[in-house]
Chains A and B, each alone.
Chain A
Amino acid sequence: MINKKVANVSEALQGVKDNMTFMFGGFGLSGIPENAIAELVKKGVKGLKCISNNAGVDDFGLGLLLQGKQIDKMTSSYVGENDEFERQMLSGELEVELIPQGTLAERCRAAQAGFPAIYTPAGYGTEVAEGKETREFDGKMYVLEYAFKADFAFVKAWKGDAAGNLIFKGTARNFNPNMCGAAKITVAEVEELVPVGELDPNQIHIPGIFVQRIFKGERYEKRIEQRTVRQRD
C-alpha cells in the first residue's frame, strides 16, 4: 500500500503558491472541499485561477476566496446566487469564462484520462464556440475543447483510506471524481478516513492512483442552498 495520508490540511496544501490554477469539486455548495478552501483563505494566496462549476455564495465556498480578492479568473458553468461575484465580474476585477457544464466535466475528465482535447456538440453556433475549431462528424457540428491544465485539484469525498481510495455520497459526488488525477497534485479531504482494507474494493469510486494526498476534514458545515420540503399529510 502506498501511503497518501497527510496529517492535516496545512500539510495537504504544501506547495500552493500565488497565481496557480486550481480545480475545486462540488456542485453549488454540495460536495465542496470546505477544509481546503478555508486553508487557502488562511494562507492568503492570490492571483488564483479557479476551475469550479459554481463560485459558492457570498459567505461560503469559493465566495470566501472572492471576498478576499484572491481569485483572478473563474472558469465555471453557473455563477448565480453570488452578489460579490457579480460585482467583481461587472467591474472587470474578475475574469470569467463561462462554459457548458458537460464541457467543464469533460475537460476535467480529458485531463484525467490523457486526452489533449475533445469534440462536443455543446455550444456550437453560440458565443461559447467563437474562435474555436469546429468540425463536422456524420452531418453534425462539434466544437474542439481542450483538456484543463491545473496545479492542484481539491476534492471532497465521503470515505477514504490512506491508499487514497475514495467513495462519494449522493449528489455530493458531482465533479469530484472527474477532477481526481486531472491536476498535477490531487488533494482529497474526506469525512471519514477508514483503515486500509475496510473499504470494499468493489465499491470504490476513485482508485488511490489518482490521489496524491488525503486527510480527514474537520467541522463540515455542509450548507444547504435551497432547503425544500413537502408537508406530511
Chain B
Amino acid sequence: MLDKNGIAKRIAKEVQDGYYVNLGIGIPTLVANYVRDDIEVEFQSENGVLGMGPFPFEGEEDADIINAGKQTITTLPGASFFDSAMSFSMIRGQHVDLTILGAMEVAENGDIANWKIPGKMVKGMGGAMDLVASAENIIVAMMHTNRAGESKLLKKCSLPLTGVGCVKKVVTNLAVMEITNQGFKLLERAPGVSVEEIKNATEGTLIIEGDIPEMQI
C-alpha cells in the first residue's frame, strides 16, 4: 500500500517532457518533488504564476508570491505572473497539458466531487470546476477509501459534483485505474496489494483483464 508520497511518486511518472502542469492542493502538490530532473516541466498555479519553483528559504518569503494553496513559493528562470482571467484562459483554453487534483469521490463514468459536503463542509470549488470542465488530461490523486473505510470509487457520486465525465485516470494508495466506458479499468496494483483487496475497496465497476502488474515506483 502507498502513502501520500507514494501516490505522488507514481503520478510523477505521468508527467512528460514539455508539459505545463496544474497541481491541486494536497497530494498533487507533492508530485512536483518527484518529477524526473532530466525533463522540462512548468508548473502553473491558478492564482497567477507559471514556472513555480520550490518553497523559499526561511527569511526569503514574499507575501506577494504565493501558490493557490496560499503557501509562499519561489519562481524559476522563465517564470511569469498574470491576472486571474489570463490564468483561466490557460486552463479553459486547454493550454495546460495535465491537471492533477484531489477528490472526495470519483464515479466510474469520470464524474468527480470535491468541493462540498452538504450540511458539513462548504469551502467552495475555487478553480476546480474550471479545471475539470476543460482539461483534456485529468488525473485524480486520492486515498481509495475514506476514514470510515468506505470506497471513494463509486458507481455514482453521492456528493455535489465538481464536473461530469472528466476524470481520465485515478491513482490511489491501492491502484492505478483508467476510466473507460465500462468503468474503472485496473492497470496497476500498489506494492503488496492484491487484486482482491482492490476489488473489495472499489464500489464502482472494476474491470480486471489478465495479470495486473505491480506499480514500479
Interface residues of A (CB under 8 A from B): 27-31, 53, 76-80, 86, 89, 96, 98-106, 108-109, 120-128, 158, 168-178, 205, 222-232
Contact = CB atoms under 8 A, between A and B. Distances in A.
B213 interface: no
B160 to A, nearest CB: 5
B49 interface: yes
B48 A174 contact: yes
A232 B91 contact: no
B77 interface: no
Interface string B143-167: 0000000000000000011111000
Most buried by A among B58, B70, B71, B92: B70
A122 B130 contact: yes
Given A109-B85, A224-B72, A229 B55 contact: yes
A172 B64 CA distance: 5
B48 A171 contact: yes
Most buried by A among B46, B85, B87, B127: B85
B63 A30 contact: yes
A121 B125 contact: no
Given A229-B55, A232-B57, 11 more contacts: A29-B63, A29-B70, A100-B128, A105-B87, A120-B92, A120-B130, A122-B134, A126-B163, A170-B65, A171-B67, A228-B61
A100 B84 contact: no
Contact of B164 (A27, A109, A124): A124
Given A78-B125, A224-B61, A228-B71, A121 B160 contact: no
Interface in B120-152: 122-130, 133-134
A109 B164 CA distance: 26
- State the main secondary structure of chain B at its contact with A: loop
B88 interface: yes
A98 B91 contact: no
Nearest to A30: B66
A106 B85 contact: yes
Given A78-B123, A171-B48, A174-B83, A121 B134 contact: yes
Most buried by B among A108, A127, A224: A224
Most buried by A among B87, B123, B125: B125
Top 10 closest pairs, chain A to chain B, by CB: A102-B88, A102-B130, A125-B164, A80-B123, A170-B64, A105-B84, A100-B129, A222-B63, A78-B124, A228-B71
Given A79-B122, A230-B56, A175 B84 contact: yes
Interface string B42-54: 0001111100001
A223 B73 CA distance: 15
Most buried by B among A96, A125, A228: A228
A174 B61 contact: no
B160 A126 contact: yes
A220 to B, nearest CB: 9
B61 A227 contact: yes
Interface in B52-106: 54-58, 60-67, 69-73, 81-85, 87-88, 91-92
A123 B129 contact: yes
A105 B91 contact: no
B216 to A, nearest CB: 28
B162 to A, nearest CB: 6
A125 B84 CA distance: 24
12 contacts: A78-B124, A102-B92, A102-B130, A121-B133, A121-B134, A125-B163, A126-B129, A173-B81, A226-B72, A229-B56, A230-B56, A232-B58
Given A80-B123, A100-B127, A30 B64 contact: yes
Contacts of A86: 122
A23 to B, nearest CB: 12
B64 A171 contact: yes
Contact of A77 (B48, B63, B125, B164): B125
Nearest to B45: A171
B47 A174 contact: yes
A149 B81 CA distance: 27
A229 B64 contact: no
B92 A173 contact: no
